[in-house]
Amino acid sequence: MTDWTSRFAARGQALKPSAIRATAKFAEQPGAISFASGSPNPSLFPYDAITQAMTAIMADPRRRGEALQYGASEGYRPLREFIERYLRDAGAQVALDMITVTNGSQQALEFLAKLFVEPGDRIVVTNPTYLGALQAFGLFEPVYACVPTHQAGIDLEALEREFSQGAKFMYLMPDFGNPSGITLSLEERLKVLELSRRHKVLIVEDQAYEQLRFAPKALPSMPALDTSHPAGSSGRSTVNVIHAGTFSKSLVPGLRVGWVVAPPAVTQKLVSIKQASDLHGGQLNQMIVHDVATAILRDHTERLRGAYRRRRDLMLRALARHMPQEVAWNEPGGGMFVWLSLPAPLDAAELQMRAIRDENVVFVPGAPFFADSSGKATLRLSFSSVAEDAIAPGIERLARAVRAAMAAEGEAAPVAAARARSP
């Protein structure tokens, strides 16, 4: 009778189940309104284009064999060529030998940590940051250096302080990331790149939401800015940005197709890691994504932007109307999330329990998105999947829960204040 759990490696011992996953069951209660899910809205999936693509692939005797056989670890070549064109059109000087297809951008993050991170290595992240990145990196036992963000972007002084102490890389979502919805300005992007070069800290850019921007014109991506800078022009392998992207938000997540762009010498290693990790990505899935993206990506993302923008506007209007003035939030320029800050002593995890119990409304508390476990008075609201006509009533319910929590806190406050005064 051997207890195998005592034999886990340190990285295995440290693994914890997702805090967010635990809230999913509350969203399924009758009458619940949920702002918790970070999933794209399935009513916006391009079903017809996907069905057409897979039907055509399976009707072609050559392609159907390729779709179901083992494939190349670096990915389906026509899809890699599509990604190359897509990124070049956005101004990034990428080449085919810099592109690896991954199972969503999540796998790209795990591969980069696997390739670069030794136990104790420093990784710079923003506060808050994507929980899935913390989970992927966490397997390789890094130490996190946390840089605060604010409504307008990132704390550059704190960033410089952390960079000057050295780090393997910085993980960054410059465009309306999960969970904060913040957009880095052009000036901030250039400054991050400058600090990256000066302190030799690699930038890992996660552009999972970039295609869901609401502004008519995109800000330049980090690789686009990086390769156009003189320091990067002497050769592709000198670039300071590794870029991860995905079709999970612009098409569908269930096919698990994303990518990572890195200098060729890094890409060679990533391809070996892909082979060792799961041989290669699903062939049929990559072929479907290639065919569908080629046919409709531009028009389809245009449609998605309109739909998500309308939902964001409904949420922002409802917040302005119902929330007490002590609550602050941002106006995301794209993506799926609005980020709320509660008045200081309020705990979002307690508010979550109250909101579920008293108002049947669900959200995700902010603390799990902070690598240093701060952020207890923050929370994430998703507008992607909730029914449009449920947004205003849901926010109204949430505001009632916030007021109730503030009132309860107010009753408790004199006691706490009295305690604080005692010696």
Site for a second copy in 228-267 (CB under 8 A): 231, 234, 237-238, 240, 248, 252-256, 263, 265-266
- CB under 8 A: which stretch of 61-69, 81-89, 186-194, 406-414 binds a second copy? 61-69
Angle at 214 between CA 212 and CA 216, to 5 degrees: 110
Of 18 and 151, which has the nearer Cβ to a second copy?
18
The one among 26, 35, 82, 116 contacting a second copy by CB under 8 A:
116
214 lies in the site for a second copy, by CB under 8 A:
no
Supply the Cα-derived Rg of the chain in whole angstroms: 22
- Smallest distance from the beta carbon of 321 to a second copy, in angstroms? 31
Q: Which of residues 119-138 bind a second copy (CB under 8 A)?
A: 121, 132, 135-136, 138
Cα dist from 381 to 130, 252, 312, 358, whole Å: 14, 21, 10, 18
Cα dist from 184 to 172, 205, 280, 341, whole Å: 10, 12, 34, 19
Of 229 and 403, which has the nearer Cβ to a second copy?
229
386 lies in the site for a second copy, by CB under 8 A:
no
- CB under 8 A: which stretch of 62-70, 175-183, 205-213, 322-330 binds a second copy? 62-70
The one among 70, 216, 411, 421 contacting a second copy by CB under 8 A:
70
368 lies in the site for a second copy, by CB under 8 A:
no
Helix count (H) and strand count (E) of the chain? 14, 14
- Smallest distance from the beta carbon of 250 to a second copy, in angstroms? 13
78 lies in the site for a second copy, by CB under 8 A:
no
- Smallest distance from the beta carbon of 344 to a second copy, in angstroms? 33
What is the length of the chain? 423
Q: Which two tokens stand for residue 98?
A: 């810099």
Of 29 and 55, which has the nearer Cβ to a second copy?
55
Of 252 and 355, which has the nearer Cβ to a second copy?
252
The one among 75, 104, 333, 365 contacting a second copy by CB under 8 A:
104
Q: Under a CB-based contact definition with an 8 Å cutoff, are residues 404 and 394 in contact? A: no
CA atoms within 13 A on the CB side of 322: 19
Of 93 and 360, which has the nearer Cβ to a second copy?
93
Q: Which of residues 164-203 bind a second copy (CB under 8 A)?
A: 168, 197, 200, 202
Q: Which of residues 30-49 bind a second copy (CB under 8 A)?
A: 39-40, 42, 45, 47
Q: Under a CB-based contact definition with an 8 Å cutoff, are residues 149 and 172 in contact? A: no
10 lies in the site for a second copy, by CB under 8 A:
yes
Of 185 and 238, which has the nearer Cβ to a second copy?
238
Angle at 170 between CA 85 and CA 107, to 5 degrees: 55
The one among 268, 294, 360, 374 contacting a second copy by CB under 8 A:
268
- Smallest distance from the beta carbon of 412 to a second copy, in angstroms? 36
- CB under 8 A: which stretch of 11-19, 204-212, 328-336, 392-400 binds a second copy? 11-19
d(CA 206, CA 221): 10
Cα dist from 402 to 55, 282, 324, whole Å: 50, 45, 8
The one among 22, 143, 215, 276 contacting a second copy by CB under 8 A:
276
d(CA 207, CA 343): 31
d(CA 328, CA 192): 26
The one among 84, 110, 175, 226 contacting a second copy by CB under 8 A:
110
Angle at 97 between CA 92 and CA 99, to 5 degrees: 60
User: Nearest-CA neighbor of 144 among 122, 175, 162?
Assistant: 122
d(CA 125, CA 146): 5
The one among 34, 106, 180, 382 contacting a second copy by CB under 8 A:
106
User: Nearest-CA neighbor of 167 among 202, 119, 131?
Assistant: 202
The one among 280, 300, 305, 312 contacting a second copy by CB under 8 A:
280
Peptide bond into 128 cis (omega under 30): yes
- Smallest distance from the beta carbon of 12 to a second copy, in angstroms? 4
19: left (phi over 0), alpha (psi -120 to 50) or beta: alpha
289 lies in the site for a second copy, by CB under 8 A:
no
* # residues near a second copy by CB under 8 A: 86
